[in-house]
Structure 1
Amino acid sequence: MASASSRRTRGLVVGGGIVVLAAAGVGVWNWAGASDSGTVCSALRGDSRIKDVLGASYRGDMSCGDLGRAFREAAAGDRPGTHSKEQAQAMRITLEAVGDALGKSGKRDVDDSLRMPLAELMADYVPDTHEILKELDADYVTHLSDGEPWEDRSGVHMTVPNEALLRVMRSVSASPSAYAVLRNAEGQYAAHTMARIPGTAKGFDLSTPVVGNALAFGALDGIASDVTARLSGQEAENWNKAVVGALSAAAPAKIPDFKADPAGYVSATWAKGLNGTTKTESDAFRSQGAEYLSIWAHGRADGFKAPGKLTEDCRNGQSRKSEEATAALKDG
């Protein structure tokens, strides 16, 4: 686990990334102007767990937009990426309740006006969602059974089953704007994991964070595949272009110097590479783990060369995780 200070830094970066995406014009899709009569929101309004989480702010006639705002008030902290145990528990219960509502209704998508609030919340919890998606941290398995948040040196954490998180992430990703928020948060967090790798790292100390990033990216690839597989050809193309455009537009005007900001260098260099691309989302992103490794190795400028097998492991891991996520969503 990372230190508390690095966790706070990551939270600020993620929070800023959400603002940048909104300013970059992702919201032109205007998914928030939506009906509140969807079955998922109806199920959530009647869920006793949601009543408990929202407390005094709960009303039986809450719109989907009201629910989204109330979820953020209950689960988001004063500082991006930093949460109390009560907030983390609210987040865990919210994710489980949304996942259950999707399952009971047979829906794959949440109501339009709930998509961005949930995406922003999940982005705020990216240190946890990253671990849940890649499925390598034993703590996140251990704490599934007790159903409670826990605290360690890096802060407060919460967890839900991998398939539950996949289902909720998939449900908001009908909106390319919301998916872009999730992908941007993961990309920035993954860049920070690269930045924390010691220059002398070898073996598992090098491969674990690098391949872990690829696995998390692969899970998001699988979500994208499930979304586009259920759209018409033109709709899928439009969705892909919107996601690629959002991430490209969110890139900073100037790539930071590697020594001053290695994480910013990695994420910005990758995002800049999307400019003018004609690739679909899956083509542009399916090698993101390996590309992060290559960008980080080049930025070091110390003669380091990424082992060929590690690059191959990134590609294979990302592809395998994408297939696993797609299969889980197909069965869900």
Structure 2
Amino acid sequence: MASASSRRTRGLVVGGGIVVLAAAGVGVWSWTRSSDNGTVCSTLRGDSRIQGVLGASYRSDMPCGDLGRALREAATGDRPGAHSKQQARAARTTLEAVGDALGKSGEKDVDDSLRMPLAELMADYVPDTHEILKELDADYVTHLSDGEPWEDRSGVHMTVPNDVLLRVMRSVSASPSAYAVLRNAEGQYAAHTMARIPRTAKGFDLSTPVVGNALAFGALDGIASDVTARLSGQEAAKWNRAVVGALGSAAPEKIPDFKADPADYISATWAKGLNDTTRTDSAAFRSQGAEYLSIWAQGRADGFKPPSKLTEDCLNGQSRKSEEATRSLRAG
């Protein structure tokens, strides 16, 4: 788990990244299906769980955009990455309700006005979504049964089933800017995970966080694959370019020094490499976990060379998780 200080740092980074990515996404939404009264939004308005989350702010005639923003605010509050149990409960309930609404309607995408608010909500919970996507932390399995948020030294946490999170993430990713928010949040968090690895780490202490990052990236690869598979060739190319452009625009102009900010060094170095691609199924994306390991090793500048087996495990793990996510989304 992340330390309390790293959660605060991560929250500030992700919060700023959302603003940049949302701005970068302006102009790429027009080709996606736009609706303010679609099946999912209507279903959510009539869901008693959603009414409970919003309380006095709920209205049965809320425009879809207002509904999305109200749900985001109920779950995230005013401090990025820091949550009360009530907010975490709101996040969990919202994700479950959206997942159920998608299942009932048979829709793959939520209404256009819901996409960015829900993406921002999930990005604010990236320490939790990271663990849910990679499926290695026993706490997240244990707390599925009681359905309640819990608190430890790193803060308050919530969990939902892996297939529910995948379905909701997929549903907002019809918007390339919303997908970029999710990918950026995971990229920033994974970079902080790398930065916390001690230089002396070996064995599981080294491989667990590194391969865990690759697994989470793989799940996001699977989501991108499902989105583009359902678009025409021209629309898929446009979606891909928009995602790559949004992620590239969020990177700082100058890569920071590794010693001063190892996490930003890792994420910025990777993002700069996107200048050579226009596709989310390129090697830059599909090997992001292994690339983070390589960039971290280079930044250390102490002669450390990643074990070839660990690099191979990252590549294989990311590929496997992508295939698992794609199968789950097709089945759902």
SS in 1 for 2:144: coil
SS in 2 for 1:291: helix
Matches of 1:119 and 1:67, distance apart in 2: 14
Could you tell me which residue of structure 2 aligns to residue 239 of structure 1?
239
RMSD: 1.2
Q: CA deviation at 1:12?
A: 0.9
Q: What per-residue deviation string (whole Å, max 9, x for no partner) do you get for residues 229-272 of structure 1?
A: 00111111111111111111111010000000000000000001
1:28 corresponds to 2:19: no
Q: CA deviation at 1:278?
A: 3.5
Could you tell me which residue of structure 2 aligns to residue 136 of structure 1?
136
Matches of 2:266 and 2:107, distance apart in 1: 37
Q: CA deviation at 1:7?
A: 1.0
- Match of 1:28, as an amino acid? G
Task: Name the TM-score, length of structure 1 as normaliser.
Answer: 0.98
Could you tell me which residue of structure 2 aligns to residue 304 of structure 1?
304
Matches of 1:79 and 1:102, distance apart in 2: 29
- Match of 2:91, as an amino acid? M
* Identical-pair percentage: 85
Could you tell me which residue of structure 2 aligns to residue 272 of structure 1?
272
Could you tell me which residue of structure 1 aligns to residue 321 of structure 2?
321
Could you tell me which residue of structure 2 aligns to residue 119 of structure 1?
119
Q: CA deviation at 1:35?
A: 2.5
Q: What per-residue deviation string (whole Å, max 9, x for no partner) do you get for residues 5-24 of structure 1?
A: 1111111111111112134x
1:228 corresponds to 2:266: no
Matches of 1:73 and 1:79, distance apart in 2: 10
For the Cα contact (< 8 Å) 1:123–1:182, is it kept in 2?
yes
Q: CA deviation at 1:63?
A: 1.1
For the Cα contact (< 8 Å) 1:33–1:113, is it kept in 2?
no
Could you tell me which residue of structure 1 aligns to residue 84 of structure 2?
84
Matches of 2:35 and 2:21, distance apart in 1: 24
- Match of 1:281, as an amino acid? T
SS in 2 for 1:28: coil
Could you tell me which residue of structure 2 aligns to residue 58 of structure 1?
58
Matches of 1:97 and 1:303, distance apart in 2: 50
SS in 1 for 2:174: coil
For the Cα contact (< 8 Å) 1:14–1:123, is it kept in 2?
yes
Q: CA deviation at 1:279?
A: 4.1
Matches within 5 A, 1:4-23: 4-23=4-23
- Match of 1:94, as an amino acid? T
Matches of 1:62 and 1:211, distance apart in 2: 43
Structure 2 residues not aligned, in runs of 5+:
none
Matches of 1:68 and 1:278, distance apart in 2: 33
Matches of 2:210 and 2:279, distance apart in 1: 24
- Match of 1:86, as an amino acid? Q
Matches of 1:50 and 1:297, distance apart in 2: 46
Could you tell me which residue of structure 2 aligns to residue 110 of structure 1?
110
Structure 1 residues not aligned, in runs of 5+:
none
For the Cα contact (< 8 Å) 2:136–2:212, is it kept in 1?
yes
Q: CA deviation at 1:77?
A: 2.4
Matches of 1:84 and 1:287, distance apart in 2: 35
Task: Name the TM-score, length of structure 2 as normaliser.
Answer: 0.98
Could you tell me which residue of structure 1 aligns to residue 251 of structure 2?
251
Matches of 2:73 and 2:163, distance apart in 1: 25
- Match of 1:170, as an amino acid? R
Higher mean C-alpha displacement, 2-11 vs 124-133: 2-11
- Match of 1:301, as an amino acid? A
Matches of 2:67 and 2:2, distance apart in 1: 33
Matches of 1:300 and 1:188, distance apart in 2: 18
Q: CA deviation at 1:3?
A: 1.5
Matches of 2:241 and 2:278, distance apart in 1: 8
Matches of 1:101 and 1:169, distance apart in 2: 14
Matches of 1:223 and 1:43, distance apart in 2: 23
For the Cα contact (< 8 Å) 1:7–1:81, is it kept in 2?
yes
